[in-house]
Amino acid sequence: MSGYNDSMTLQDIASLRLQNQQLSHPTLTTPAEVVSWFGAMQAQDLFASLFAIGRRMSPGATESAIEQTIADKTIARSWPMRGTIHFAPPEDMLWMTKLLAGRIITKAAGNYRRAEITPQELTKAGDVFKNILEGTQLTRHTLYEALNKAGIDTNGRNGEQRGMHFIVHWACRGLLCTAPRQGKQQAFTLLKEWLPNNRGLTGDAAIIELGTRYFASHGPATFKDFSWWTGLTMTEIKPNISAITKQLQKISYNGVDYWHAPRSTAQQMPEVILLTAFDEYTIAYADRGAALDTQYAKQLGYGLAPNILINGKIAGTWRRTIKKDTVIITPTLTTPLTAQQKTGLQKAAANYAGFLGLTAVVK
């Protein structure tokens, strides 16, 4: 552990997070570098998550180029943690899934009961997937057809999506992962075929690896934040805290200890940043107070909506409308912008539009 600082402010924490999250002064140049730096990045909204990667790279990243890296197998996409789709490095996807995803299956037991899914059906669905996906990639619709043909009903029951439960269950078991889209349809494949190189980390070594990456990329953060991000319990984390913090610096705010890499120093941040939904800057923390004023929490989607950051704080949300070669950005703000901030918003919108290969208009 290196040093201790008890004079931090929320603004300092936000500034350091922006830096470590590669949102200010990005130093990474490829999608693989970004995903590896984070360890995992939430990605259930594919197009939002592609920009989350692109925003953290040197200028010039495009949506199509980043999506191509899924097909190139330099980044991978599946359900390794929290029952939600994430990007992860190909060599890390299987061990992360084995470490973290099993508890999601346990939590899903109630959903399975409501969907009237039996253990026998789950096992049979796994056999269907193994057979039909060997050496290929297939869309969800094709997988559903195969399940129905095998006598496993994929129609919804009691508000539960039976078909998707089977897919997610076997992704959490490490059998499946997503593959490149086929047209507009998401495809799936066998994880070990698609991503054959697995680092094979387990137990404490795996937790330490995750913690090291988390605090480097997300710090300053607390171990409660790390528990939220991974789904690990504090009982599982506590034996590994000393190993994780060995190269970290502790700071304190309002009596709470935060950890970050000692090389981190608060730098001047971009005044205005556009984030897409479920960005790591907000979703990766149990406490989002550094970015979100509680009085606006509901209005701002609790930090999970497409957000407008002003000096590291969420100042509003935005939505997009695409018309021909133009993307129209419509902001909803908690307070009016200054002239300088309006210019910053125009610049941020132009950056997003360039990522899409379009021209920006801000309403």
Residue 235: partners with Cβ closer than 8 Å, 6 or more residues away: none
Alpha-carbon distance of 287 to 302, in angstroms, equals 11
Residue 224: partners with Cβ closer than 8 Å, 6 or more residues away: 234, 286, 287
Mean local confidence (pLDDT), 253-268:
80
Alpha-carbon distance of 138 to 81, in angstroms, equals 23
pTM of the full structure: 0.93
pLDDT on residue 271: 85
Contact 249, 2 (CB under 8 A): yes
Q: Which of 188, 179, 125 lies closest to 152 in space, CA to CA?
A: 125
34-90 pLDDT per residue, tens: 999 999 999 999 999 999 999 999 888 999 999 999 999 999 999 999 999 999 999
**pLDDT bucket at 157, cuts 50 / 70 / 90:** confident
Alpha-carbon distance of 176 to 154, in angstroms, equals 17
Backbone angles phi, psi at 169, to 5 degrees: -55, -45
Alpha-carbon distance of 217 to 247, in angstroms, equals 13
> Strands 76-81 and 84-88: what pairing?
antiparallel
308-322 pLDDT per residue, tens: 999 999 999 999 999
205-244 pLDDT per residue, tens: 999 999 999 999 999 999 999 999 999 999 999 999 999 9
